[in-house]
Amino acid sequence: MDFNLETMAFRKWAKKHKLTNSAISLWYALMEVNATVGWKRKFNAPNSSLQEITGLSKQGLINARNMLKENKLIHYKKGSKGCAGEYQLISLVQTLDSSVHSVDQAVQIVDPYRSKYLPIHRQRHGQGQERQMDEQAIIYFYEAHIGMMSIFGREELLSYRDKMSDELILAAIEHGADNGARTVKYVVRILEEWLENGLETVKDVLAYRKARLKQVQKTVPFPKNKQDDYQALFDELRREG
């Protein structure tokens, strides 16, 4: 599947249908998981992994998945005991008469699962229509996780695409949402902090937050039981909020 085209088609579809933020987050999470396995038509994804990516509870994940199923955005088959469930993402590019791609592009996409993966969050710069599509996807990601933006807010957020990767911008939006962010300024402060500390990748961010967490733990006389690094990181982020 082509991440850019599918995201734009999803954005157009979502304007006409009501989805919860949880369902939207799960859709993006499934896109990410599918990308890591090479865009397979059917793929397996453990509930624990999806909960970790989305921050959803077990019941929240079930509800979000049911909503995606009801809206015919995915097919899902429950896994047998000890096995992860099987998912199939339904290509919106094929099913919608979407304005986000031209007729020529539509003709070329015979099988979206054979399209080259061009993830929005790994493109630092783009040109023409591709760059515009990426900008719209970032805006939608923000509005799905935090809320509507003003024109000025959009311009301010998108200006950081000249300073860092889309990957970091999306990560900052997600971190902001986890902390209860309500404005673009909150996300901008996160981005500025990462720029000041020379962080260029999500891996850098995780290492940076991990180091900060260790400093915090040194001040606690009776530290809590050790958690895995990922969970501890996001617990700290929530405390900061």
Q: Is the pLDDT of residue 130 over 80?
A: no
Looking at 29-43, 69-83, 156-170, which range is the least confident one? 29-43
Residue 125's pLDDT band, with cuts at 50, 70 and 90, is very low
**Separation CA 27–CA 96 (nearest Å):** 17
**Separation CA 157–CA 96 (nearest Å):** 29
CATH 1.10.10.10 residue window(s) in the chain? 3-114
The secondary structure of 151-187 as a DSSP string is HHHHHHHHGGGGTS-HHHHHHHHHHHHHTT--SHHHH
Q: What is the pTM of this model?
A: 0.45
- Tell me the CATH class for 3-114: mainly alpha
Greater model confidence, 231 or 12: 12
